[in-house]
Amino acid sequence: MKEYTMELCGVTRTLPFIPINETMAFASFVVLGDTELVATCAPKLAEMIGPVDAILTAEAKGIALAYEVSKCLGLNEFIVARKSTKSYMKDVVSASVHSITTTGEQHLYLDGVDASKIKNKNICIIDDVISTGESLHALEVLAQNAGANVVKKAALLAEGNAANREDIVFLKKLPLFTKTDDGYKELK
């Protein structure tokens, strides 16, 4: 296989392979900017999430999905964790988590105003894909530091072993792939 074709909520996408190392690859799923896919999948994901007080996501790929799911859930806004502090931020809440997919530590920040919006609230963390779980964990630590109660963790796709997790909801498993003589095949 030279690329991976998948169907999600009736929408078909062809994903290129991105090597992880000399023997493995992942299929690159980029939802940012994919209006059709986000609009089609958000209602189904919102149904799986159920009632929450707020949605939290990290910049950048989860933003469009968080927006659309928030609309489906009747929420007037959602919260975006930033990867760097901004000049407008006051009383910043932060979390630092070491990730195997990011060099060094991953830092996430919430403005104090946004942190106060989720304090003592039941929230859902949303990302496009859950893979190693490190980004999800960073968001969870950030939410806890802000005083939020994380009641759901959701994504469109769970990649590899993440699909075996019982603490997340997702629409479809995205397999990992192993290198062959003529491309890649699904890792079983």
Q: According to the model, what pLDDT value does residue 133 have?
A: 86
How many residues can be counted in the chain?
Answer: 188
pLDDT(100) > 70: no
Run of H or E including 65: helix 63-72
Report the candidate in 105, 110, 170, 102 with the shortest Cα–Cα distance to residue 139. Answer: 110
Query: What gap in Å lies between CA 56 and CA 36, rounded to an integer?
Result: 22
Higher pLDDT, 169 or 1: 169
Going from the C-alpha of 137 to that of each of 57, 69, 81, the distances in angstroms are 12, 20, 13
pLDDT(144) > 60: yes
Complete domains list, the chain, with CATH: 33-172 (3.40.50.2020)
Q: According to the model, what pLDDT value does residue 61 have?
A: 87
The pLDDT tens digits of the residues spanning 173-182 come to 999 999 998 8
What confidence category does residue 57 fall into, taking pLDDT thresholds of 50, 70 and 90? Answer: very high
Find where tokens 């078909």 sit.
12
pTM for the model stands at 0.91
Higher pLDDT, 105 or 3: 3
pLDDT(101) > 60: no
The pLDDT tens digits of the residues spanning 8-43 come to 999 999 999 988 889 999 999 989 889 999 999 999
pLDDT(97) > 90: no
To the nearest 10 degrees (0 to 180), the angle between helices 63-72 and 35-49 is 50
Over residues 142-171, the mean pLDDT reads 96
Over residues 47-63, the mean pLDDT reads 95
122-130 and 149-159 beta bridge pairing: parallel
